[in-house]
Each structure stands twice: as C-alpha cells, then as structure tokens.
A and B are shown apart, each in its own frame.
Chain A
C-alpha cells in the first residue's frame, strides 16, 4: 500500500466498504483496511462443513434491498449480486402441528393468518398496508439520515398529526414493548408469537420497552427478505469491486492497532507490523467503540470522561445467537406440511414458539445465562439458491437465541457444550422434520457465540448488532450521546460502523449516514443526495 490516502477506513465490513465506495466515487483516494484475511465482516460465507456447501456464517437475511439507497447508488446488482425474494418468506411451525406462513403475496399471508383468526388476518392486512405506505418515509426519517432525538421526532409527528392519520403509529409506542403492541392489536397467541419472533430475528426483542416504535416499520418490510445467491459474501465482493473500480483500495490482513493523532486531528493509522499510513482528510472507524477509543487512540487523545463512558456505559445486546451449520442430502419435510404445504417452501422457519410467554421465558432464561430447550429457527437457503450446495444437496442453518456467557462457566463453556447443544438443536428440528435423519445430515458444525466474538471482535460479547437494540441506545444516543452524530472528539475521525445509529444488520445505514456528515464537513458534493 502507499504511504498516504485521503481517507483511511478501518474495517472492510459492509459499512466500511460502502463508505469507501461512496468516497471513492466522490474523487477521494480511499484505503479500506481489514484485519481479517477476508473482506465483508458479517458478510461472511464459508464452506464450514464440506466443499460446495456455502454457509453464511453471519448475515443471512438482506431485508433492506431496494430500500437502502446504496444498493442502487453503488450499483450492487451491476456488480454481480443476484437477490432472490423467496415467495414463502417465513413460517412458524407450532408444536400442535399447525403452521403459519408469510408470503410475498399479501393475500396468501392473510389467508394463512385467518386459519388462526380472521380478525387478526384483517388487522394484519391493515397494518401491513398502512406500514407499507409509510415505509419509505420512515426509513428516510429513521434510518437513512443522521439521527434526530426522540424529542424532535415526537414533536414532528405531533405537528403532522400522524396519530390522527394512522391506526398503528402513535407517540406512545416509544414507551411500549412489541408485546404490548401485539396484545393491543392482535388476539391469537400463535399469530402474536410469529410476529414477535419475526421482530426478534431482526434483534427487536419483543419484551424491550420502546421497541414497539420500530415494529410497524418491521411489518412494512416483512416480505422484503432477500437471499443473496451464492452467499452473503457476494455482496462484499460487489462493494469491494465498486470501491476498486473507482480507484479505492481494500487491503486485508491489515491489523490496525493505532489511530495517529496530531494536534487533535486524526492523521493516519498504524498497523500491527508497524506500517504507518497517513490520512490526508479523514479516518473512519467501522469497528467497535471499545477498539476505537480504548485501543486505537492514545489515552490523551480523547477526554478521560469519554474513555470512562466507553468502558462503563456502552451497552451490548443481552442475548446472542448459537448457530448450527448443516450439510444435508435432502430438504426438510415438515409434518406440518399436512396442515400447510407451503411450510416446506418457507425460507426461515420458527420451530416451536407458539406464544409471547414462551418467547419471554426463553429470553429471561438466556439473560440469566441459561441454555433454553432449543426452539431454533431454521433457514434452508438451498430452497431458493441453486448454487449453495452440490446438486441434490442442501445447506441448512439453525439459529437459537442464546447467552454469550453461560451461567456458572462463562463464555468459555461454549467450547465444551457447543457440540452437545448443536445436537439438541438438530433433534429439535427433527421433531418437526423427521426426514432429517443422521443419514441425511452429511456433516454439521456448531458456531457458538464465543466464536462470533473470536472471529469478529468488533461484535463484542457476540453482539451481532454491535450495540444493544433499545430506544435508549438508538438514534442520537447510540452508542453514546457525544458520538451520536458520527463525529468524535478527534477532528477528522468518524465512526461509521454498526455501533452507530441505526444498528447492525445489513442496512448500509451507519456508513450512509456517516457519509452525510463527512460530506458536510469536507464540502463534498453529495451527488447521491440528488433527488
């Protein structure tokens, strides 16, 4: 690499690459540095089991396709990304053999819900249509711009009289849980459980106060779940290609250890091997707040108060995910297909949560460090991706809500319980899909919360959202109020990763929003803003 670039970006996850590509397209000389040997961060696809079985080790669901501006601005599809929007997006299979399916066809979704409650089906239709109407507006307001405060938002919503014009949006949602929202509007426990499950997979935990505010938005894109053909890593390649085609450079195996500061200004970085690279205009960090402020910056570079707050006040998710990756010779055949044949075509399946209480109980157990009786969710990408497994085979993914530290043993315990718990998750799956016998499962590996933190240390304590998802840790309060607008106390140093508003997930939003701030500060013509 050369000695100096205009912009040096730490971390080649989707946010780092996105920010890099925009800046490169804006004429800056950009360097994106990645600690791992692969770019992509959570966009990580590996043959964890057997050759030819492509496992999405982290991000699997791309729910912001065609909603996030970078998808078009950076011509992601032109760079070879193929997205599929599965017709049967998701399902819940309940332990009584019934099942609920969510389709890209609203009528089919409502018909499925109506088998449990016709009233709920009508409510869902109204909620979906209402939310679908304002999904663009809300995304533009809540996600794809630097955040406002809750107070400002509340005031604007009141001025516009949104409450009078909407059945489901209301300022009081900022104090309510998704459970409360569901209890108010829906009647059937299984319908509620499915909708809550869907939120939880997006990290909007159903029992956390304030998250109800985001729920209509989640429903507005409940049928926008896309699968990236050939694995999520393809998106990383596309973003990297866009960066490189516009003159930027991504370098992997570049372990940043220090952000160089001169006269209160970030002027470059130093790598583990001592290499120094100068940044003429900016340094952007897309890794964790802890790494950035406690490891990379000299203690004297930032106010001591901020360091203390980073140590004590940065909030992480209180649950994470345990995964099992499987190589199989068959697709699951659910017994619940007798009730609803479409469950066999559902991309993501909730196995067993049939009421809010069951979800609540498991989240309570997980927060206490316990491993619940597995009710994993199962995703079989091979249903819709002809390239992710050898012919006639299928790639499977089980995800189970789980603690990072196990009560009594801490996170280290995962090394000894990983295979055991993985086995239990497979057994749980088998009770719903009895055809998945040992003969059908060629190979499987667990991927534990500890491994998340080991592979991607920016996901502190296995926190795949890079910061708690709660209203208190959203908008301009995320990750700390003084860092809430992507700027930092060090001039020329920006935070542009998922530690920032809105949060993790493949949203592109932290980078996109940091870009707005950087463009304002540097006087870059914001070509992407042209409406």
Chain B
C-alpha cells in the first residue's frame, strides 16, 4: 500500500525535525524518513564506552539556543530541553603551567579581560571591544541567520564591515583576509592567538581560508562564549524536537533509507524505500547531504548538466573533520595552569596540548594535508555541569581532534588511529594535568571520521557538511542556483546543512527551508514580529 502525505522530509537530523514541525503545524501532513534507528543526526549522545558515561558523538556545545525560533515556537523547554551555561566558557592550558587564557560568558567579560590582560592589556581591551560589537549586532546576526540568504556584492559587504569595525582599522580589504591574518592583526599574545585559531576552525572556518577573515569578526567573535550545554547531552534537543513533532502529529519512520526521490515530469512526487513508495503531494525536502540528494536520490537523468556539474564540484572537508575521543574518568583533570587561575579546572571547553600558535597552526595544517597530527584536543567534561552524564563520583570527558578527511587514510590506518591516538593524547594531557595518568582513566574510545561517515553519512567526516569557503557560503551555498532552498526539481527543497547557513546546531537550514516552502505554497509565515525573523 502506498502511503501519501503532503510533505516528506528526508532525514531526522535537527533541521529535518525543525522543518517537519513547522510544516505539520501549517496543516501539511508530514512524514520524516530517517535512515538510522535514532533521530537527531549529529545531535547524538550515547554511552559508547561504559554504561552511565554519556558522550556527545558529534555536536558538543550549543551557541544558538537563545535565538533558535523552534525552541520558542514549540515550547521545547516544556518538552525536556534544559541548559547550563558555564561561566568560564573556553580556555587554553599549558604543559609548563603558565597562565591559562580563559574566555567567559558575555556577562562576565571583566573576568575575561583580567585573564587576557595577564599577558597583554591591549589584547584584553581589543577582545572585549570586539565582543561588545558582536553583542550589539546580535539581533542583526540572528535575523541574517534565520532568513533566506540574499546575494550581496563585495562592495556592499565591505561597506558593512567598515561601518561596524572601521574605527578599529577594518576596511573592505578584510574581506580578502584569512582568519589567521585577522587574528594576527588584532592580537599579539601567542596564547590567545592559539586559542582563537582553534575557535575559528571549530566554527568551520579554515585558518588559512582567504576571504573568511571578516567572517571571523562577525560570527566567531559573536558566538565565542555563548556556549550552552544541553542537560542530558545534546541529544536531549533532538528528543525535545522529536516530541514536538509527535505532538503536532508528524509521522517519523526510522530504519528506512530513501533510495530514490521519485521525479515525475520535473516534479518530486515521492520517495522510494525498501518499504515501498511513499508519495508526497506538495513537498519533498531533503536534509541529506547535497550529493546524496541530487546525484544518488534524484539521479543525473533528472538534472540539468549544470546542476550535475555543481553537485559534483561541491567539496567536503578537509577543514572541519573531527574525531571524538571519549574518556571515562575517576576524577576531572586538574591543570598545572590552575595555580594562576583555578577557573581553568572548571572551564566548559579546554584546549589541551597546544603550546602556542605555531603548534595550533601546524596541527591544523597537518590535518588538512591528510596527515595525522601530533595529538592535541579541545576537551569537555560535561559531568562537571551535569552530574547525570557520568555515574556518581565519576566523570565523562569528550573531546574533538581535528583529523584528516575520512578518505585520506586507509581502513587499516584508521584502525591504527583508533587504537593509538587516544593513548598518545593521554601522554600529552598528563603533561598539562598531572592527574590525567592512566590510573585515572577507566576506559576510553575514539570515534573517527571514517566512522562518522558511515554512521551519519556525514561525508568525509566533515562536520560542516560541505567546506566553509567563500564560494560555498552565504548565497553561494551549496551553489548559487540552489541557495534559496529550492532546486530545479519542482517541489524538491534542501533543508540540511548543505544549504545556508551550513553545519551547526541552529536549525536555520530547516527554518529557512520552511520559509521558502511557505512562500511557494502560501503557508503561514513563521516570522514573529518581536523576534524580527
């Protein structure tokens, strides 16, 4: 029996769930079809090592909770979403025990100032000033994030950053700079530079990416320090979103791979699965990756030569490819650097193993070049804030390594990485935190990019689902002709991170795709006047 819905959403990642909830609320009968047995895609919390030790396998911190429309519109806080916002947000610690650099929440910038000023008062002033500018622009950023991107010329963009930062020496030429250039120009402290390089890369901006420097000022400086922890693990957000979908009446089919999007006379009319055909009278929206959607599910036969070319040219990695180490600990790390500032022991995110900016850059460039870097990591001990994430009196630590793209190593090489890299990192960790000896580690496991690719079809293990580069960002994402969530197939929309604004837990791809669909079908606009988007 063929089932028919008004709308089919492919993929129960958080963008797909977001879109489905809005569609169903707008009166469209909607089904979400998910290949895995769990909803949430990259917002995924598991117990991969030992019972009771929870680890976020992909997404770690949440920087958009305060502005995410779905949280408000669907009352996700009544449905289980709870957050913690640690005071000390991001820090870097050193093996020689010199002072850490710690960045705080926006309401505690005086502490951040003091931390940076230990090295350089000028840098402290600059950092705080840049944060204030970013905070002032938050409403604008949010509106931009939750809107269909509009193409804008370089002149316009240049004028915009000049207006915002011109008194700090920023001109249109900043549009051509890389994040490293911008960081180096603004800050002199090596320790701070090391931290900011990594922050840039973690946002998805390659450190040497020409043309992303202005983006560093706008987005990284905005989000840095806005990080929240989802109680119970990031998957809790997926649960709340799923529950919202259930309450609206969305159908969710799991363990069901969409093999094909059925195209009839240039229009997407349904999907083919092992369970048969599922038809859609109005909308097929794909939260799956771009190439999978266009080349595998739709098929080249239904696409114009230009679209085939564009899809093939879309790039994944190497700049945002991560491995997730999971450590089960007796006690949380105690850093040598804590003698200067004990907050480093209670910092949400702590960089370990980078002695300075050269180290960070070498590490990142190694990973980009397909070489396994010298171990170093960003780490979280979420059980510090949410004791439920580990058994009583124990701690669960998770981290991110930047690693080569999945295809850069052979299967055997990845096995080797899984078998050895955590051990090597522990040696490094112990240099900064002497209590991180082997006796403190109950067990550990490393989840590598090749596994991420297999688990979530996150190609190359690229967390951004498509490299962040000027030609794949903004109104160029995934390519100019597809940047408004619509495709050349009637009724087929993109709603995943291949679309603007890209990877990250903001649900903007799903929200904006709803806006595009609403425009096309005459559905209610989701814009809330007071919110402004």
Chain A interface residues toward B at CB < 8 A: 1-2, 35, 37-39, 45-48, 50-52, 54, 80, 82, 229-231, 233-234, 237, 240-241, 244-245, 247, 249-255, 272, 386-388, 390, 451, 454-455
A37: shortest Cβ distance to chain B, in Å?
5
Best-surrounded residue of B54, B255, B451 (most CB of chain A within 10 A): B255
User: Does B46 lie at the interface of the complex (its beta carbon under 8 Å from any beta carbon of A)?
Assistant: yes
Asked if B47 and A455 make an inter-chain contact with CB atoms under 8 angstroms apart, the answer reads yes
Asked if A250 and B80 make an inter-chain contact with CB atoms under 8 angstroms apart, the answer reads yes
Query: Which B residues touch A272, using CB under 8 A?
Result: 387-388
Asked if B54 and A37 make an inter-chain contact with CB atoms under 8 angstroms apart, the answer reads yes
Number of residue pairs A-B, CB distance < 8 angstroms = 104
Asked if A37 and B37 make an inter-chain contact with CB atoms under 8 angstroms apart, the answer reads no
| Bound-complex Cα distance A455 to B455 (A) | 23
- Spot the interface stretch: B65-73, B199-207, B228-236, B485-493: B228-236
Query: Which A residues touch B79, using CB under 8 A?
Result: 1, 249, 251
Closest to B255 in A: A230
Closest to A453 in B: B51
User: Does B423 lie at the interface of the complex (its beta carbon under 8 Å from any beta carbon of A)?
Assistant: no
Asked if A37 and B78 make an inter-chain contact with CB atoms under 8 angstroms apart, the answer reads no
User: Does B253 lie at the interface of the complex (its beta carbon under 8 Å from any beta carbon of A)?
Assistant: yes
B232: shortest Cβ distance to chain A, in Å?
3
Partner of A253, one of B50, B78, B236: B236
Given contacts A237-B252, A451-B50, A451-B51, contact A249 B243 (CB under 8 A): yes
Query: Which B residues touch A252, using CB under 8 A?
Result: 80, 232, 236, 239
Consensus secondary structure, chain A interface? loop
The 7 residue pairs across chains A and B that have the minimum distance between CB atoms: A253-B232, A230-B255, A51-B455, A455-B51, A244-B246, A251-B80, A387-B255
27 A-B interface contacts by CB (under 8 A) = A35-B388, A37-B235, A38-B235, A46-B48, A47-B48, A51-B452, A51-B455, A52-B454, A80-B253, A80-B254, A234-B254, A237-B254, A244-B247, A245-B246, A245-B247, A247-B247, A249-B79, A249-B243, A250-B80, A250-B239, A252-B239, A253-B80, A255-B388, A272-B387, A386-B274, A387-B255, A387-B256
Given A51-B452, A82-B275, A230-B37, 9 more contacts at CB 8 Å?
A: A37-B47, A37-B233, A46-B46, A46-B47, A47-B46, A50-B454, A80-B253, A233-B37, A272-B388
Consensus secondary structure, chain B interface? loop
Asked if B52 and A455 make an inter-chain contact with CB atoms under 8 angstroms apart, the answer reads yes
Query: Which A residues touch B256, using CB under 8 A?
Result: 387
Interface string of B20-58 (1 = CB under 8 A from A): 000000000000000001100000011110111010000
User: Does B366 lie at the interface of the complex (its beta carbon under 8 Å from any beta carbon of A)?
Assistant: no
Partner of A250, one of B232, B233, B243, B454: B243
Best-surrounded residue of A50, A244, A254 (most CB of chain B within 10 A): A244
Asked if B51 and A454 make an inter-chain contact with CB atoms under 8 angstroms apart, the answer reads yes
Chain B interface residues toward A at CB < 8 A: 37-38, 45-48, 50-52, 54, 78-80, 82, 231-233, 235-236, 239, 243, 246-247, 249, 251-257, 274-275, 386-388, 391, 451-452, 454-456
| Bound-complex Cα distance A250 to B239 (A) | 9
Query: Which A residues touch B254, using CB under 8 A?
Result: 80, 230, 234, 237
Given contacts A51-B451, A455-B47, contact A253 B231 (CB under 8 A): yes
Closest to A52 in B: B454
Query: Which B residues touch A386, using CB under 8 A?
Result: 274
Query: Which B residues touch A454, using CB under 8 A?
Result: 50-52, 391
Query: Which A residues touch B54, using CB under 8 A?
Result: 37
| Bound-complex Cα distance A48 to B255 (A) | 17
Closest to A242 in B: B246
Asked if A52 and B455 make an inter-chain contact with CB atoms under 8 angstroms apart, the answer reads yes
Query: Which A residues touch B452, using CB under 8 A?
Result: 51
Query: Which A residues touch B253, using CB under 8 A?
Result: 80
B271: shortest Cβ distance to chain A, in Å?
16
Query: Which B residues touch A237, using CB under 8 A?
Result: 252, 254
| Bound-complex Cα distance A250 to B80 (A) | 8
| Bound-complex Cα distance A249 to B75 (A) | 12
Closest to B38 in A: A233
Asked if B80 and A249 make an inter-chain contact with CB atoms under 8 angstroms apart, the answer reads yes
Asked if A47 and B455 make an inter-chain contact with CB atoms under 8 angstroms apart, the answer reads yes
| Bound-complex Cα distance A1 to B38 (A) | 23
| Bound-complex Cα distance A13 to B458 (A) | 31
A74: shortest Cβ distance to chain B, in Å?
13
Query: Which B residues touch A455, using CB under 8 A?
Result: 47, 51-52
Query: Which B residues touch A245, using CB under 8 A?
Result: 246-247, 249
A179: shortest Cβ distance to chain B, in Å?
35
Query: Which B residues touch A241, using CB under 8 A?
Result: 246, 252
| Bound-complex Cα distance A4 to B456 (A) | 38
Best-surrounded residue of A1, A35, A251 (most CB of chain B within 10 A): A251
| Bound-complex Cα distance A170 to B252 (A) | 48
A210: shortest Cβ distance to chain B, in Å?
33
Asked if B255 and A244 make an inter-chain contact with CB atoms under 8 angstroms apart, the answer reads no
Closest to B249 in A: A245
| Bound-complex Cα distance A244 to B38 (A) | 17
A134: shortest Cβ distance to chain B, in Å?
35
Query: Which A residues touch B388, using CB under 8 A?
Result: 35, 37, 253, 255, 272
Query: Which B residues touch A387, using CB under 8 A?
Result: 37, 255-257, 274
Partner of B37, one of A2, A234, A244: A234
Asked if A80 and B251 make an inter-chain contact with CB atoms under 8 angstroms apart, the answer reads yes
Asked if A45 and B78 make an inter-chain contact with CB atoms under 8 angstroms apart, the answer reads no
B246: shortest Cβ distance to chain A, in Å?
4
Query: Which A residues touch B50, using CB under 8 A?
Result: 451, 454
Query: Which B residues touch A37, using CB under 8 A?
Result: 45, 47, 54, 232-233, 235-236, 388
A343: shortest Cβ distance to chain B, in Å?
27
Asked if A45 and B37 make an inter-chain contact with CB atoms under 8 angstroms apart, the answer reads yes
| Bound-complex Cα distance A247 to B243 (A) | 10
Query: Which B residues touch A388, using CB under 8 A?
Result: 255
| Bound-complex Cα distance A244 to B50 (A) | 30
Asked if A240 and B246 make an inter-chain contact with CB atoms under 8 angstroms apart, the answer reads yes
| Bound-complex Cα distance A78 to B456 (A) | 26
B311: shortest Cβ distance to chain A, in Å?
24
Asked if A80 and B247 make an inter-chain contact with CB atoms under 8 angstroms apart, the answer reads no
B405: shortest Cβ distance to chain A, in Å?
17
Query: Which B residues touch A234, using CB under 8 A?
Result: 37, 254-255
| Bound-complex Cα distance A237 to B32 (A) | 14
Query: Which A residues touch B255, using CB under 8 A?
Result: 229-231, 234, 387-388
Query: Which A residues touch B246, using CB under 8 A?
Result: 240-241, 244-245
Asked if A249 and B233 make an inter-chain contact with CB atoms under 8 angstroms apart, the answer reads no
